[in-house]
């Protein structure tokens, strides 16, 4: 779009006014109409901390040594949530960067000249970016009827060029958890690293387990797990950007570090993809974990898990709709037997609902901003659309 760089400036108020008007068409989390996003309205404390420390740059940790120490503590607390004492990693820009760093580590630790990664068909598209950037070939393992990866197929696909295995704890489309214990055994047997993508599930599963939900182990408690992606900017309720990558061993971080020794403090190296990067993200993550604690996140997860089960039971009662599978976490996906799902998604978006229809189903992510009233209203719109569609036949 052709836009001229303005020769003279506008008043601050005028700039703000224009931005407010221009963004009116954006859907906001507060409206309760965003039902298909893994992000949410950030917690007020995390928002406040983010704003207070917006000038901190972890790309030059010698300048902001206090922030760097706080990032290390944030990583330590995430590692502890995932069953690991210690742990190495960073608060990064999101799950994409975290997954890229994990694949970069697996590739660098191997001596294969034609590196391959075995991953589930349900993996997030960030692995396509990792593959393209790092020259690692993706070898897809098939899913079983319950949409978890077929561990026997993973095993069949391991070759001498395999650099690692990926398992998913909370898939993007359905929120299902792969059989990570079995993948861990496989990783140990074959001497391969296992990366668990818990970008979404990492901030749900530990709390749901504490509430009594019967979910498989997925983290460093399993010997074969060498790295985990866990994103504070999803269910962690921290402002974007805040992803997390945690490695079990320090040598993993070393394998992806480059020297940046001229920076303040000297002897500095960087493992992240981004150079200059927000300290505010790490500080907001630290602050919210300290403030909510385990029990605070348990309360958040309790509500959204219950809401998901209620919503799933409502879908089951509706003619013309079918659950893709029983929800495992706080994601409920359904399809229609009465109407093309793509058309249903388009019609819902036209009525102001923020939903995505992909892989043949509509995904509802029960984030903390979603209220029962929003879901009731959504279901009324779905019923009207199904009825309208039926009368057109």
Q: Binder to ligand 0PR among 27, 37, 47, 139 (CB under 6 A)? A: 37
Stretch that binds ligand 0PR, among 37-45, 248-256, 309-317, 376-384 (CB under 6 A): 37-45
Choose, by CB under 6 A, the member of 131, 172, 272, 308 that binds ligand 0PR: 172
Total number of residues that touch ligand 0PR (CB under 6 A): 16
How far apart are the C-alpha atoms of 183 and 85, rounded to whole Å?
22
Question: Which stretch in 88-96, 105-113, 284-292, 307-315 sits in contact with ligand 0PR by CB under 6 A?
Answer: 88-96
Least distance (Å) between residue 130 CB and ligand 0PR:
11
- Cβ distance to ligand 0PR smaller for residue 253 or 355: 355
341 burial level (CB within 10 Å; 0-12, 13-18, 19+): middle
Please tell me the distance from the alpha carbon of residue 252 to that of residue 37, in angstroms, as a whole number: 31
- In angstroms, give the least distance from the CB of 199 to ligand 0PR: 3
* Residue 38 makes contact with ligand 0PR by CB under 6 A: yes
Min dist CB 65 to ligand 0PR, Å, is 27
3-state secondary structure string across the chain: CCCCCCCCCCCHHHHHHHHHHHHHHCCCHHHCCECCCCCCCCCHHHHHHHHHCCCCECCCCCCCHHHHHHHHHHHHHHHHHCCCCCCEEEEECCHHHHHHHHHHHHHHCCCCCCCEEEEECCCCCHHHHHHHHHCCEEEEECECCCCCECHHHHHHCCCCCEEEEEEEECCCCCCCECCHHHHHHHHHHHCCCEEEECCCHHHCHHHHHHCCCCCCCCCCCCCCEEEEECCCCCCCCCCCCCEEEEECCHHHHHHCCEECCCCCCCCCEECCCCCCCEHHHHHHHHHHHHHHHHHHHHHHHHHHHHHHHHHHHHHHHCCCEEECCCCCCCEEEEEECCCCHHHHHHHHHHCCCECEEECCEEEEECCCCCCHHHHHHHHHHHHHHHHHHHHHC
Identified binder of ligand 0PR from the candidate list 197, 238, 277, 344, rule CB under 6 A: 197
Question: Binders of ligand 0PR among 209-238, rule CB under 6 A?
Answer: 231
95 contacts ligand 0PR (rule: CB under 6 A):
yes
Q: Nearest distance from residue 335's CB to ligand 0PR, in Å? A: 17
Q: Figure out which of the listed residues 94, 120, 239, 327 binds ligand 0PR, where binding follows CB under 6 A.
A: 94
CB of 200 to ligand 0PR, least distance (A): 5
Smallest distance from ligand 0PR to CB 392, Å:
31
Residue 120 binds ligand 0PR (CB under 6 A):
no
Question: Is residue 102 within the footprint of ligand 0PR (CB under 6 A)?
Answer: no
Binding mask 17-36 for ligand 0PR (x = CB under 6 A): --------------------
**Chain residues 126-155 in contact with ligand 0PR, contact rule CB under 6 A:** 126
Q: Which two tokens stand for residue 23?
A: 């963004």
Binding flag, residue 96, ligand 0PR (CB under 6 A): yes
Residue 178 within binding range of ligand 0PR, rule CB under 6 A: no
Q: Given phi > 0 = left and psi -120 to 50 = alpha, else beta, which region is 93?
A: alpha
Q: How far is the CB of 78 from ligand 0PR (least distance, A)?
A: 15
Per CB under 6 A, does 272 bind ligand 0PR?
no
94 vs 181, beta carbon nearer ligand 0PR:
94
Q: Which of 89, 175, 224, 243 binds ligand 0PR (CB under 6 A)?
A: 243
Residues that bind ligand 0PR (CB under 6 A): 37-39, 94-96, 99, 124, 126, 168, 172, 197, 199-200, 231, 243
């Amino acid at each position: 779009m052709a836009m001229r760089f303005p020769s003279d400036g506008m008043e601050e108020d005028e700039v703000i006014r224009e931005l407010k008007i221009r963004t009116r068409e954006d859907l906001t989390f507060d409206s309760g109409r965003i039902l298909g996003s893994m992000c949410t309205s950030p917690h007020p404390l995390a928002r406040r901390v983010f704003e207070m420390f917006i000038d901190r740059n972890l790309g030059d940790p010698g300048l902001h040594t206090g922030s760097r120490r706080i990032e290390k503590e944030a990583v330590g607390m995430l590692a502890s949530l995932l069953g690991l004492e210690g742990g190495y990693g960073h608060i990064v820009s999101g799950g994409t960067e975290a997954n890229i760093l994990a694949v970069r580590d697996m590739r660098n630790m191997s001596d294969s000249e034609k590196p391959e990664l075995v991953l589930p068909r349900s993996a997030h598209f960030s692995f396509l970016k990792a593959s393209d950037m790092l020259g690692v070939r993706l070898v897809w393992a098939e899913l079983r009827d319950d949409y978890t990866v077929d561990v026997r197929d993973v095993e069949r696909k391991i070759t001498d060029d395999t650099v690692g295995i990926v398992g998913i704890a909370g898939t993007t489309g359905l929120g299902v958890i792969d059989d990570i214990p079995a993948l861990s055994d496989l990783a140990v047997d074959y001497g391969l690293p296992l990366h668990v993508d818990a970008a979404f599930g990492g901030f749900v599963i530990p709390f749901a387990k504490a509430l009594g939900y019967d979910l498989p182990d997925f983290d460093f408690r399993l010997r074969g797990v060498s790295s985990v992606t866990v994103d504070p900017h999803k269910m962690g309720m921290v402002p974007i950007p805040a992803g997390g990558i945690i490695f079990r061993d320090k040598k993993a971080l070393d394998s992806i570090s480059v020297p940046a020794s001229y920076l303040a403090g000297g002897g500095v190296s960087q493992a992240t993809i981004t150079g200059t990067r927000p300290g505010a993200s790490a500080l907001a993550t630290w602050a919210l974990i300290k403030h909510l604690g385990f029990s605070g996140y348990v309360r958040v997860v309790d509500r959204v898990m219950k809401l998901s089960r209620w919503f799933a039971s409502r879908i089951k009662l509706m003619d013309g709709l079918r659950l893709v599978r029983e929800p495992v976490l706080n994601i409920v996906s359904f399809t229609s037997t009465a109407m093309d799902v793509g058309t249903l998604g388009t019609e819902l978006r036209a009525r102001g609902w923020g939903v995505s229809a992909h892989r043949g189903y509509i995904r509802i992510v029960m984030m903390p901003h979603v209220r029962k009233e929003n879901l009731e209203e959504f279901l009324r719109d779905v019923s009207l659309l199904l009825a309208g569609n039926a009368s057109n036949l």
